[in-house]
Amino acid sequence: MNFLHQFSRGSRLQSASQDTQCREVIGRKDDPRARFGGTSVSRLHRIILYSVLISVLVHCVPTLHAEEAAAQERELVVATKVAPPFAMKQPDGGWTGISLALWKRIAEEEHLRFRLVETDSISDLLHGVANGSFDAGVAAITVTAARARGVDFTQPFYNTGLGIAVPINEDPWRSIGQALLSFGFIQAVGALLGLAMTVGFVIWMFERRKTEHFAGGAKGLGSSFWWSTLAMTQAGAAQNAPATLPGRIVAMGWMIASVIAIAVFTAGITSTLTRRELEGSVHGFDDLRIVRVGAVAASAATDYLARQRLPVRRYPDVESGLAALRRGELDAFVHDKPLLTWIVRNEFTGQVRIVDTSFSSENYAIVLPKNSALRSSLDLAVLDQVEGGWWQQTLFETLGANRSR
């Protein structure tokens, strides 16, 4: 594992000198003038050539073994951050979790020595890896384009999406108010009024010259609109009704159609209000546009919501955001769904629930410094591990699912 370690300047110079000698000897061997059957090289020269080759090999081989032994002795500094259930710190200071189980298994098979260092945030972890303070970072680290500009990532070992947490005991009047002010409700009311005005205009065209209360321009048209609206609500339709045959035919059709329209409209509103009362006002991503949304600052969730041009309140961690949700300061909190589910299950049971939906796509991977020599070997190691049965079993036991990639 020579690529894992750095060596002293003296060792590098010595190795470089010996490598140069090796190349020179090999180069002479390939030179046509140095071939054993050539006429331009004397017997004495061949003896000298053999002697130099043997001498260089004697020095090169021990050096290669020394470099390999030194590489295996170096201890990697691996950064992590608490992110249950992927990285969890025990009371005794030890670390467990899905990501760390994967890393420990890789390190054991690749014969890597390491020590874990805790960071306060993902930003600190990424910064430390980028400037070389850490050899790797392992937690629940999402791969994003912005992060990839400063660090490298291995092959992803887990794929998930963003989840939404909402309060269980939501204010019913808030839900009703949001339902009545929603775009769908306003659209339905507008459609009914537009249909009533269309019918009123048609009746006015038939009645304006033959029925007194529909006569005239704006006044007659207004009276026609008003009658059409009354007929739609089945209130006082007999008063000032159309007098002509075409007008009455239109009025009869409108009365029948309005009964159906009002029934459908009432059923829709009742269903919406009942659903909101039972399940809350947020059922998916589109509902986030009309509620107060929170997310962890400098997270993939915040970046995604910003790209969607949704206003978001930022919190230092998931626990702070969920506490604000519980106090009624938020209507929804967005974060990586497996982490959000774990924290709600263990710390906010009976107060907060997870909406049965997810959006966006998030990949977790091991983070490395740019141009890290570990990249190629860890890529293969990650693929080997996540394709194994133990990984799927670990995900199922921890998360109740086996979605890894």
Place of tokens 């046509």: 32
Q: Rounded CA gap, 382 and 357, in Å?
A: 28
Other residues' Cβ atoms within 10 Å of the Cβ of residue 308: 13
- Give me the pLDDT at residue 245, please: 79
Place of tokens 């009869």: 252
- Give me the pLDDT at residue 235, please: 62
Amino acid at 169: N
- Give me the pLDDT at residue 195, please: 82
Q: What angle do CA 231, 232, 233 make, to 5 degrees?
A: 90
Place of tokens 């300047």: 9
Q: 248-283 burial string, b = 16+ CB within 10 Å, else e? A: eebbeebeeebeebeeebeeebeebbeebeeebbbe
Domain 166-170+282-362 part of CATH 3.40.50.80: no
Place of tokens 């009645």: 207
Cis peptide before 85 (omega within 30 of 0): yes
- Give me the pLDDT at residue 211, please: 76
- Give me the pLDDT at residue 213, please: 72
For residue 11, give both structure tokens. Answer: 């060792």
Low-confidence ranges of the chain (pLDDT < 50): 1-41, 64-72, 278, 402, 404-405
Contact 202, 315 (CB under 8 A): no
Farthest CA pair distance, the chain: 133
pTM, rounded to two decimals? 0.58
Tens digits of residue pLDDT in 8-28: 334 443 444 444 444 443 444
Contacts of 35 (CB under 8 A, 6+ apart): 41
Other residues' Cβ atoms within 10 Å of the Cβ of residue 246: 13
Tens digits of residue pLDDT in 51-99: 766 765 555 555 544 444 444 468 999 999 999 999 999 999 899 999 9
Q: Rounded CA gap, 337 and 152, in Å?
A: 24
Other residues' Cβ atoms within 10 Å of the Cβ of residue 290: 15
Q: Which fold has domain 175-279?
A: Helix Hairpins (1.10.287)
Phi-psi region of 288 (alpha: psi -120 to 50; beta: other; left: phi over 0): alpha
Contacts of 7 (CB under 8 A, 6+ apart): 15, 67, 70
Contact 161, 362 (CB under 8 A): yes
Tens digits of residue pLDDT in 168-198: 875 555 656 666 666 667 777 788 788 888 8
- Give me the pLDDT at residue 69, please: 44
Residues linked to residue 336 through DSSP beta bridges, in sequence order = 162
- Three-state SS sequence of the chain: CHHHCCCCHHHHHHHHHHHHHHHHHHHHHHCHHHCCCCCCCCHHHHHHHHHHHHHHHHHHHHHHHHHHHHHHHCEEEEEECCECCCEEECCCCCEECHHHHHHHHHHHHHCCEEEEEECCCHHHHHHHHHCCCCCEECCCCECCHHHHCCCEECCCCEEEEEEEEEECCCCHHHHHHHHHCCHHHHHHHHHHHHHHHHHHHHHHHHHCCCCHHHCCCHHHHHHHHHHHHHHHCCCCCCCCCCCCHHHHHHHHHHHHHHHHHHHHHHHHHHHHHHHHHHHCCCCCHHHHHHCCEEEECCCHHHHHHHHCCCCCEEECCHHHHHHHHHCCCCCEEEEEHHHHHHHHHHHCCCCEEECCCCEEEEEECCEECCCCCCHHHHHHHHHHHHCCHHHHHHHHHHHCCCCCC
CATH class of the domain whose range is 75-157+365-399: alpha beta
Phi first, then psi, for residue 79 (nearest 5°) are: -90, 150
Q: Rounded CA gap, 383 and 70, in Å?
A: 27
